[in-house]
């Protein structure tokens, strides 16, 4: 069957709509946006795991993996308290093979790769002099990225964008200089705002996770105040993939009335000894 030009354009749109879903339940904070998920989860997880294992191997070879035993134990205890509550958003995440590791590195960074592979850098803990509540705010945020499969979504988005641009070039007789403008417009109008939306979602879900685990959600405010002081004034939020510090703090402040009851309830029922769900190396 030979497709008409219109059919060639419409077919990808139908496929995109069919690939829209939400990876998580809403929880108390209500993240329910549909996501574009074109790529198989297993494929993205395998790629991410390979990258994560490479990071571990490199850090271990340099003698920088899990050498700060005190802070390693701190982040693993915090993970033990947070992870049981991932079931609020997706039950299958309880069966992920969770890991928590600490690399001696000056960067102010941490991440959670798909499938529950958490990595913290010592720089963010030491340079910001983080409390346990502030570490929980970071970890909850990074876990939220994994629960929402934001990496898979970004890869799917890039794939769809590339496919769309190729169709325009082939069928639309678009000049090279116009293609460059279209790509810039796509980045500013689609990629960057969407990434800011992902960051906001991770703040929302992460805040609920830490509150349910008995960590004070107000610590997310002090965390981002510290981050702002460490990073200094950044560029305009419009050109960034992250919300500005002020926007982030305002958003968190607006959510505190929703999550504070969860925190107060958790404080009254949480046992002093958390179950160990993270393997100890």
Give the pLDDT of residue 38.
77
Give CA–CA dist 10/16, Å, rounded: 10
Which residues are annotated as catalytic?
Answer: 142
> How far is the CA of 68 from the CAs of 63, 123, 242, 277, in angstroms?
11, 11, 30, 20
pLDDT reading at 45 higher than 70: yes
DSSP 149: T
Give CA–CA dist 53/231, Å, rounded: 29
Give the pLDDT of residue 187.
53
In a domain, 21, yes or no: no
Strand, coil or helix: what is 110?
strand
In a domain, 9, yes or no: no
- Cα–Cα nearest to 104, from 140, 55, 137, 145: 55
Strand, coil or helix: what is 233?
coil
In a domain, 46, yes or no: yes
Determine the Cα angle at 52 with ends 48 and 54, to 5°. Answer: 120
The tokens for 241 are 């993939």
Q: pLDDT-based confidence at 270, cuts 50/70/90?
A: low
The domain containing residue 164 runs over which residues? 35-269
Q: pLDDT by residue (tens digit) across 47-84?
A: 889 999 999 999 999 999 999 999 999 999 999 999 99
In a domain, 184, yes or no: yes
Give CA–CA dist 58/53, Å, rounded: 9
In a domain, 30, yes or no: no
In a domain, 23, yes or no: no
The model scores a pTM over 0.85: no
Give the pLDDT of residue 52.
94
For the chain, the domain total comes to: 1
Helices (H) and strands (E) in the chain, counts: 10, 5
Q: pLDDT by residue (tens digit) across 147-193?
A: 998 888 887 777 776 665 555 455 555 566 655 655 555 555 555 55
**What is the residue-averaged pLDDT of the chain?**
81
Q: pLDDT-based confidence at 269, cuts 50/70/90?
A: confident
In a domain, 4, yes or no: no
Give the pLDDT of residue 251.
93
Token pair 């033990």: residue: 80
The pLDDT > 70 percentage for the chain reads: 72
In a domain, 222, yes or no: yes
């Amino acid at each position: 069957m030979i497709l008409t030009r219109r059919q060639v354009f419409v077919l990808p749109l139908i496929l995109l709509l069919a690939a829209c879903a939400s990876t998580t339940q809403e929880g108390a904070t209500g993240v329910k946006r549909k996501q574009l998920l074109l790529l198989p989860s297993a494929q993205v997880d395998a790629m991410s795991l390979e990258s994560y294992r490479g990071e571990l191997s490199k850090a271990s070879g340099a003698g920088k993996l899990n050498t700060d035993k005190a802070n390693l134990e701190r982040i693993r205890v915090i993970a033990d308290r947070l992870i049981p509550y991932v079931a609020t958003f997706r039950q299958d995440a309880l069966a992920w093979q969770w890991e928590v590791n600490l690399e001696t590195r000056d960067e102010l960074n941490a991440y959670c790769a798909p499938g529950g592979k958490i990595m913290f850098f010592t720089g963010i803990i030491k340079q910001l002099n983080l409390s346990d509540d502030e570490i929980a705010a970071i970890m909850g945020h990074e876990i939220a990225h994994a629960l929402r499969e934001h990496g898979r979504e970004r890869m799917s988005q890039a794939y769809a964008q590339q496919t769309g641009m190729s169709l325009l070039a082939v069928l639309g007789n678009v000049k090279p200089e116009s293609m460059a403008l279209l790509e810039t417009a796509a980045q500013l109008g689609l990629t960057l705002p969407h990434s800011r939306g992902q960051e906001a979602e991770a703040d929302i879900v992460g805040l609920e996770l830490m509150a349910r685990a008995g960590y004070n959600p107000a610590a997310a405010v002090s965390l981002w105040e510290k981050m702002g002081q460490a990073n200094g004034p950044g560029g305009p939020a419009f050109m960034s993939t992250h919300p500005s510090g002020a926007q982030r703090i305002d958003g968190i402040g607006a959510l505190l009335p929703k999550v504070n009851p969860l925190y107060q309830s958790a404080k009254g029922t949480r046992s002093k000894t958390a179950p160990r769900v993270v393997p100890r190396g």
